[in-house]
């Protein structure tokens, strides 16, 4: 696997239930990745050993992390998706699960299902956290167009229009 980033930002958002499964997995990856990993861990009980971490960050600091990161890995919160897309930062999301005590319902599974059915540019879904490493290995560089879009000069406009129409 080849990783070319300067920094990966991991976020679990501000929900009051822990998402230890994602933080633990990404901490394991951080031990072997040749790039720094910075985590916003929220209410997690697991304390990362291989990454810089903060329980919470002010909104402005979290936005700056999204803007400057070369890749973001996070929970499937719509705010995370919107922020990463705003800054053009490739994003891999994994859903919190109600059955595992990670959220009060499974709306993040629904968000992921929608994004699998109707993909958005630079947003990738890892239904299981164990799928993240493989996705990181093939993630486009920040600012690069995913395969197929580079061949179609109107692809960016088409995708923006599709996303706009899908949102109304």
Q: pLDDT for 115-144, tens place per residue? A: 999 998 899 999 999 999 999 988 888 877
Q: How far apart are CA 13 and CA 64, in angstroms?
A: 15
How sure is the predictor about 1, in pLDDT bands with cuts at 50, 70 and 90? Answer: very low
pLDDT value of residue 48: 98
How sure is the predictor about 18, in pLDDT bands with cuts at 50, 70 and 90? Answer: very high
47-99 tens-digit pLDDT: 999 999 999 999 999 999 999 999 999 999 999 999 998 899 999 999 999 99
**Number of domains within the chain:** 1
Give CA separation, 24 vs 30, 42, 119, 130, in Å: 10, 13, 27, 11
- DSSP letters along 88-111, please? T--EEEE---GGGTSSSSSHHHHH
In a domain, 1, yes or no: no
State both tokens at 164. Answer: 């706009």
Domain hosting 56: range is 8-167
In a domain, 76, yes or no: yes
**CATH number reported for the structural domain that contains residue 64 in this entry:** 3.40.50.2000
Percentage of the chain exceeding pLDDT 90: 71
The 3 state secondary structure assigned to 141-166 is CCCCCCCCCCCCCCHHHHHHHHHHHH
pLDDT value of residue 141: 81
Percentage of the chain exceeding pLDDT 70: 83
Give CA separation, 58 vs 17, 69, 78, in Å: 19, 16, 18
Whose tokens are 């031990």? That residue is 31
Whose tokens are 């998706």? That residue is 81
This prediction has a pTM of 0.84
């Amino acid at each position: 696997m080849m990783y070319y980033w300067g920094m990966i930002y991991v976020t679990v958002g501000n929900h009051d239930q822990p998402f230890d499964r994602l933080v633990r997995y990404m901490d394991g990856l951080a031990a072997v990745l040749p790039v720094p990993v910075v985590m916003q861990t929220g209410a997690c009980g697991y304390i990362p050993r291989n990454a810089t971490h903060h329980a919470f960050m002010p909104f402005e600091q979290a936005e700056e992390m999204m803007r400057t990161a070369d890749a973001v890995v996070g929970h499937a919160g719509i705010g995370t998706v919107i922020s990463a897309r705003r800054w053009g930062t490739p994003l891999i999301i994994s859903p919190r699960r109600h059955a595992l005590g990670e959220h009060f319902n499974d709306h993040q599974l629904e968000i992921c299902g929608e994004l699998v059915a109707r993909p958005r540019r630079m947003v990738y879904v890892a239904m299981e956290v164990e799928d993240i490493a493989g996705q990181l290995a093939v993630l486009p560089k920040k600012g690069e167009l995913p395969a197929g879009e580079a061949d179609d000069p109107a692809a960016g406009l088409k995708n923006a229009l599709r996303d706009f129409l899908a949102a109304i």
